[in-house]
Amino acid sequence: MIGQRKLKIGTAELLLGFSIMVLVVVVAVPVLLILATAFFENGKLNVAAIVKVLQDPDTYMALWNSIVIATGTTIVSTTIGVFFAWLVARTDLPFKKTMKALFLVPFMLPSFIGALSWKILLAPRSGYITKAIMAVFGLEKAPFDIMSIGGIVLVESMYLFPFVFLQVAAALERMDPTLEESARISGAGLLTITRKITLPLVMPSILAGALLIALYSLAHFGVPAILGTEKGIYNIPTKIYERIYSSGGSMAGIKVGTVLSAILVVSAAIILKIQDMLLKKGQFQIIAGKSMRPVVLKLRGLKVPLLIVCIAYLAFTVVLPTVTIMLVGGLKTYGLPMVLKNLSFDNYIDLFKMKLTTDSIYNSLVLSIGAAFVTMLAGTMISYVIVKMKVRGKFLLQFLGVLPFSLPGTVIALGCILTWSGRFGINLYNTIWIIFVAYIARYMAFSIKSNSAALEQVSDSLEEASRACGATHFQTLKNIVLPLVRPGMISAFFLIFLPALRELTTSVLLYGPTTRTIGVAIYALNEDGETVRAAALSTVALVIIFTGEIAIRKVLARIQKQE
Amino acid sequence: MSDIRFHSVRKSYDGKAVLSDLNLHIHSGECFVLIGPSGCGKTVALRLIAGFETPDEGEIRIGDRVVASAKQSLPPEERRIGVVFQDYAVWPHMDVTQNVGYPLKMRRTEKAEAARRTVDAIGQVNLGPYQHRLPSQLSGGQQQRVALARALVAEPEVMLLDEPLTNLDANLREEMRFEIKDLQHKTKATILYVTHDHEVALAIADRIAVMDSKGKIRQIGTPEAVYEHPADPFVCRFLGVSSFLEMERKENRFVIRGTDYSVGTPPPGSVADASEALAAFRPMDMTISRVAGDVPDGSAVGFVERTSLLGPIIDFRIRIGEQKLRCQIQTEEAVARNVIIDEGSACALSFHDAKWFSAVVGDGGVEE
């Protein structure tokens, strides 16, 4: 009877309360602390400090470099991405399916490992290729220098172009071919069609991919750290790192870091706003859901040359750096010629004897599995509240949940330092837990996106039917909702696990003596001039990543088959 | 079994009132159809009974239990109801037996007993051979039968059906209509059936309530009563194709506005002494013939604007004075009487069964 029902805290209230708590603790507090530290001093708005940071040539050069690198990378990788996407989706290039899969391989190669490899190959004086060219042509000086802004742009582009490639290839494949056919019937030539019909139609996808790259590059630590720092070329993330470490983690360094972070956050917000506007504008109903057979351009005589271009590109950007890293990892001393007698497995064996490297492998595995699992669960819960529950103020949850997506890893790391260094009675600094909470914040958006998509497929009536059948809210979640969103949860797990495994940008600001991640260990070895060990550890990382990647694809394919 | 009562129920979304003061009594064991245009609040009424929504004001009772009031609300799982949804809401990860057995499992029915009743329920909806299929291996009609069996299996006091046939094709819809009626006779449950389809409503209901787009109930009665004696033009139009003629008083009788033709005499009552009125006709409430000689009382001459052959019936669009109406006749009869009148020709219409409504604006406007 109704009179006997007490007002009690039910499943819904628990879910809501827990979701708010997670997002406030993990996301809202760190971000607010960054802004507060950047703009306020002793409780007062402090504009002078901000102006001072911006007037310092050291810092505004970093800002300038960040912009130049991001712009250059975006232009170069968008050009590469669109070209290959068009080849794969719209021409009769041989082995298209295989090529399409291969073009995603650069994604798997962490860009800082790529940078390390290119430094080994192309550094002025010591680079293997540089030396060979100088010897052959009898040059006094190196003909080019990879350790420059141009070099950073090239290396970043090599490993970021799949962002554009994926988006554009998908759009080109799904585009309604009748749009092009009707233009053709109206007498337009292929060039006109491409210029007037195809390009405008896929423009939203191109721009979406391009802006994703801009966002990523702006806040990217690895490549500029390896190729730029030595030559005094800093972008914002490396400058934040430099300031914090040169000041020994003091508040002054952190203060400069927060101001720079605030700049990053604002730039990221602008980029995302532009992307949002473009995507909204570009929502013509041209891209049909069902897949259709698009018109394919016959390459004729260019077929084989273009295939060779594709293969050469991949060989140059993937195979060459990978092999280089593996071989250098086997060298007895860095700089020796690469001949069999100089190679051994000693470095690889040493890796498993050194505490630095064994720790790092262990830490990365534990962190990525743990963070992926926790973030997956938290994301499922938060997505449920956002998608399914009718509560006021849930837009705030949604905002907080996807906010970290636009927050550079450096910013998240700084926020975690400010939050978890004892200010609230909990000091996680120098422990693995501070990296753990940073990863949760950093990857929460992935989990929410994946879980929300799965939950939106679950119609409300499925839950209501269960309630009407006599199941409580909790039983309904357990029996109906969870089984139906499981695919979304699994994909969330892997979406987090793989990037977390190779993470560098965030962990480099948070590691302690025993809590290095693989990325940090490689970076540290390289900084210390232990190039061969850095290369060896990179090789191990690549093996873990590639095996993980393949295993996961197999698992996901099996799940999809079961569905 | 239990009756359902709404007492002064109010419900609004974002400040917009959907139900402003709903009072309704659904008798125990009857099949009650709530019909109205889409967005009128009929589904909200059903969801209030189910407990998916809570009323802002008022009280809802199932039997002698208050299940919802402004202060408290019994959660759906404690209301002992069965619900069938428009989109079936069959769980895709469970097979037919698991779907149908779920309510018994949740109510902790003893295993052997639960298994027996599940098989029974599946048999009742003729899905015996499909017990171990997943919903994705069933057709839409079969999925809706799973939903029906699932709603029935726990023998709820109240069954709520929300447009359960809308997603089915015409043939299946007719077949399922009979099955639902049949099941009701077997189970004796109180049924609330919500729909916008007047054919289903008239076929299945013991009583019908017609709701307008403001969530107000215009008329409640047996299908025969609401169909034959609609309370206002809205109800009349909503329950089937209707034509309305504006009538004016000329001397001592009503004639079609701007003409001298009458359509019969209104029954004694409110309209009889008014100066204006509305007369409504179903397409078969008049007989068409060729113009020949005098126009007797209760008849009119009009022009055929369009003639369409719709298979077994012929549909005429006719203009009389400034007003238009639709008339239908069996094709067979039309041929026999030679009244397939060409477009643009004159025709004679003799009216019967006119429904009279007061012409006062505001009391049941014709808008839907």
CA distance A323 to A309: 20
Question: Between residues 443 and 482 of chain A, which touch chain B (CB distance below 8 Å)?
Answer: 459, 461-462, 464-473, 475, 479-480
| Higher-scoring residue by pLDDT: A1, A388 | A388
DSSP, residue by residue, A320-386 = HHHHHHHHHTTBSSTTS---GGGB-SHHHHHHTT-HHHHHHHHHHHHHHHHHHHHHHHHHHHHHHHH
Q: Give the model's pLDDT for residue B365.
A: 43
A368-389 pLDDT, tens per residue? 999 999 999 999 999 999 888 8
Which are the contacts of B365, defined by CB distance < 8 A and separation ≥ 6? B233, B234
Q: B279 has which bridge partners?
A: B245, B356
Average pLDDT along chain A: 84
Quote the radius of gyration of chain A (alpha carbons, Å).
Answer: 25
Q: Which of B106, B155, B157, B192 to probe the A interface (max A CBs under 10 A)?
A: B106
Cβ within 8 Å, pair A467-B76: yes
A2, A459, A468: residue with CB nearest B50: A468
- Judged against a pLDDT cut of 90, whether residue B300 lies above it is answered with no
Q: How far apart are CA B135 and CA B147, in angstroms?
A: 10
**Around Cβ B173, how many Cβ atoms within 10 Å?**
18
Confidence at residue A8, expressed as pLDDT on a 0 to 100 scale: 56
Per the domain annotation, does B192 fall within a domain? Answer: yes
**Which residue type does B365 have?**
G
Q: Which of A459, A467, A469 sits opposite B150 (nearest CB)?
A: A469
What lies within 8 Å, CB to CB, of A288 at 6+ separation is A174, A175, A176
> What pLDDT, on the 0 to 100 scale, is given for residue A562?
62
Distance from CA of A362 to the nearest CA of B (A): 38
Answer whether residue B365 is part of any domain: no
Tokens of B19: 């139900």
Among A262-266, A278-282, A525-529, B136-140, the minimum mean pLDDT is found in A278-282
* Residue of chain B nearest A8, judged by CA positions: B72
Give the tens place of pLDDT for each residue, B159-173. 999 988 887 778 878
Which of B206, B235, B264 lies at the terminal end of a domain, its last residue? B235
| Helix (H) or strand (E) segment spanning residue A226 | helix A222-227
Using DSSP, state whether B16 is helix, strand or coil: strand
- CB atoms A464 and B50 under 8 Å: yes
Going by C-alpha positions, the residue among A496, A33, A70 that lies closest to residue A271 is A70
Instruction: State whether B67 and B210 are in the same domain.
Output: yes
Is A538 a residue whose pLDDT tops 80?
A: yes
In a domain, B93, yes or no: yes
Q: Does A13 touch chain B (CB under 8 A)?
A: no
pLDDT tens for A279-291 read 666 554 444 444 4
pLDDT of residue B363: 44
Residue A311 pLDDT grade (very low, low, confident, very high; cuts 50, 70, 90): very high
| Per-residue pLDDT at A4 | 37
* Residue B107: exposure state from Cβ atoms within 10 A (0-12, 13-18, ≥19): middle
Tell me the β-bridge partners of B47: none
The shortest CB-CB distance from A480 to any of B72, B74, B91 is to B91
Tell me what pLDDT residue B104 has.
93
Q: How far is A467 from chain B, CA to nearest CA, in Å?
A: 5
For residues B135 and B146, the answer to whether their CB atoms sit within 8 Å is: yes
Indicate the number of domains in chain B: 2
CATH number at B337 reads 2.40.50.100
The Cα–Cα gap between A468 and B358 comes to 44
Q: How far is A289 from chain B (nearest CA, A)?
A: 20
Q: How many other C-beta atoms can be found within 10 angstroms of the C-beta atom of residue B227?
A: 18
Could you tell me which residues come within 8 angstroms of residue A305 by beta carbon, excluding any fewer than 6 positions away? none
The helix (run of H) or strand (run of E) holding residue B303 is: strand B299-310
User: What mean pLDDT comes out for the span A73-85?
Assistant: 93
pLDDT in tens, A448-485: 888 888 888 888 999 999 999 999 999 999 999 999 99
Q: What is the pTM of this model?
A: 0.81
Residue B162 and residue B58 share a domain = yes
A15-29, B82-96, B195-209, B251-265: least confident range? B251-265
Q: Do the beta carbons of residue A198 and residue A174 sit within 8 Å? A: no
Q: Is the pLDDT of residue A239 over 80?
A: yes
Which residues in chain B have Cβ-Cβ distances shorter than 8 Å to A5?
72, 74
**Domain boundary pick from B209, B235, B261:** B235
Domain that holds residue B298: 242-358
**pLDDT surpasses 90 at A253:** no
Top-level class of domain A10-44+344-563: mainly alpha
* Residues B207/B214, Cβ–Cβ less than 8 Å: no
Among A552, A441, A448, smallest CA distance to A494 is for A552
Query: How sure is the predictor about A80, in pLDDT bands with cuts at 50, 70 and 90?
Result: very high
Mean pLDDT of A234-249: 85
- Cα(B164)–Cα(B285) distance, integer angstroms: 32
For A391, the token pair is: 């509560």
Check for a shared fold between A10-44+344-563 and A56-328.
yes
CB-based contact (8 Å) between B17 and chain A? no
Output the CA torsion A80→A82→A85→A86 (10° steps).
-120
Are the C-beta atoms of residues A90 and A296 closer than 8 Å to each other? yes
In DSSP terms, B34 is beta-bridged to B194, B209
Alpha helices in chain B, H assignment, sequence order? 42-50, 96-106, 111-124, 140-152, 170-187, 198-204, 223-228, 233-238, 331-337
Among A172-181, A543-552, B217-226, top mean pLDDT goes to: B217-226
Output the pLDDT for position A1: 35
Residue in chain A lying closest to B72 (CA):
A2
Query: What's the whole-number mean pLDDT along residues A50-57?
Result: 82
- The answer for residues whose C-beta is within 8 angstroms of residue A425's C-beta and 6 or more apart is none
Q: Is B165 part of any domain?
A: yes
CA distance A363 to A348: 18
- Residues B204 and B305 reside in one and the same domain: no
β-pair type (B57-62, B31-35): unpaired
Interface of B with A in 302-321 (CB under 8 A): none
Same domain, B210 and B274: no
The CA distance from B30 to the nearest CA of chain A, in Å, is 20
Rounded to a whole number of angstroms, the distance from the CA of A371 to the nearest CA of chain B is: 29
Tell me if chain B has a CB within 8 Å of the CB of A9. Answer: no
Which of the pair, B193 or B299, is modelled with greater confidence? B193
DSSP letter (8 states) at residue B271:
G
Locate the chain B residue with the closest alpha carbon to A7. Answer: B72
In a domain, B368, yes or no: no
Q: Given B65, B72, B107, which is nearest A470 (Cβ)? A: B107
Q: Confirm or reject contact between A126 and chain B (CB < 8 A).
A: no
Backbone dihedral angles phi then psi of residue B348, each to the nearest 5 degrees: -110, 140
Tell whether the model's pLDDT for residue B147 goes beyond 60: yes
- Shared domain check, B189 and B136: yes
Q: Nearest by CB to A465, which of B69, B79, B89?
A: B89
Element spanning B5, H or E: strand B4-13
Pair B171, B144 in one domain: yes
Flag if B74 and A2 touch (Cβ within 8 Å). Answer: yes
User: SS3 for B12?
Assistant: strand
C-alpha distance from A16 to closest chain B C-alpha (Å) = 18
Contact assignment for B102 to A479 by CB distance below 8 Å: yes
Instruction: Looking at the complex, report in whole angstroms how far the Cα of residue B78 sits from the nearest Cα belonging to chain A.
Output: 6
B 49-78: CB under 8 A from A: 50-52, 65-67, 69, 72-77
- B366 has pLDDT over 60: no
CATH of domain A56-328: 1.10.3720.10
| Interface probe, candidates A461, A464, A469, chain B, greatest B C-beta count within 10 A | A469
- Chain A residues touching B85 at Cβ < 8 A: 461, 464-465
Same domain, B271 and B204: no
* pLDDT band for position A172 (cuts 50, 70, 90): confident
B72, B84, B91, best to mutate vs chain A, most A CBs in 10 Å = B91
Nearest to B300 by CA among B280, B278, B320: B320
Question: Are B350 and B266 contained in the same domain?
Answer: yes
Asked if residue A7 has pLDDT above 50, the reply is no
A561 touches chain B (CB under 8 A): no
Q: Which residues of A touch B75 (CB under 8 A)?
A: 467, 472-473
Maximum C-alpha span of chain A: 96
- What are the extents of the domains in chain A? 10-44+344-563, 56-328
Confidence of residue B271 (pLDDT cuts 50, 70, 90): confident
Cβ neighbourhood burial of B187 (10 Å; 0-12, 13-18, 19+): middle
Confirm whether B366 is domain-assigned.
Answer: no
Residue of chain B with shortest Cα separation from A486:
B93
Q: Using CA atoms in the order B161, B164, B165, B167, what is the torsion angle rounded to 10 degrees?
A: 160
- Residue A121's Cα: distance from chain center in Å? 25
Q: How far does CA A346 lie from the centroid of its chain? A: 33
Secondary structure (DSSP) of A374-413: HHHHHHHHHHHHHHH---TTHHHHHHHHHHHHHS-HHHHH
Q: How far apart are the first and last CA of chain A?
A: 42
State the pLDDT at residue A282: 53
Structure tokens at A140: 């006094």
B192 touches chain A (CB under 8 A): no
**Which pLDDT does position B73 carry in this prediction?**
87
User: Would the pLDDT of B83 be above 90?
Assistant: yes
Contact B305, B317 (CB under 8 A): yes
Question: What is the average per-residue pLDDT within A139-162?
Answer: 87
B25 plus B128 within the same structural domain: yes
Shared domain for B80 and B117, answered yes or no, is yes
Q: Which of B235, B255, B287 is the last residue of a domain?
A: B235
